[in-house]
Amino acid sequence: MATTPSEAVVHEPHGARFVSYATPRTGSAQLAAWRGEIPAGTRAPGHTVSHEEVLYPLTGTLRLPLDGETHTVAPGDAVIVNAGSTLAVENPTDSTATMWVTTSVGLEAELADGTRITPPWTH
């Protein structure tokens, strides 16, 4: 089964754009995958994830505070975010950065204020 860009579902929370390619709606039973487009100057809120994620930058440079340590990543790097880790995504540059993200279906995130979210691009 293939998902083309015209079939991908777009979500736009917190000023970012998530283009969802793999979810149960598109035929994936276990994995969710999307392209994240992070605009210049973005500082997304920190969140603790319930499932492991793998982030792979495609363009630009991102700063990723992860469990108290900040990583600066660029195309070719890969970041493994373990379940229970707290992650934020920042784009300190003047151009949009993109990354590919893969996780298990059913991922949930908890914000610093205790709010739990179920991102629709993971279900």
pLDDT in tens, 61-73: 999 999 999 999 9
Q: Which CATH architecture has domain 9-122?
A: Sandwich (2.60)
| Predicted model pTM | 0.92
pLDDT tens profile 83-112: 999 999 999 999 999 999 999 999 999 999
Q: What tokens appear for 93 in the block?
A: 């540059």
Number of neighbouring beta carbons within 10 Å of residue 95: 10
39, pLDDT greater than 90 = yes
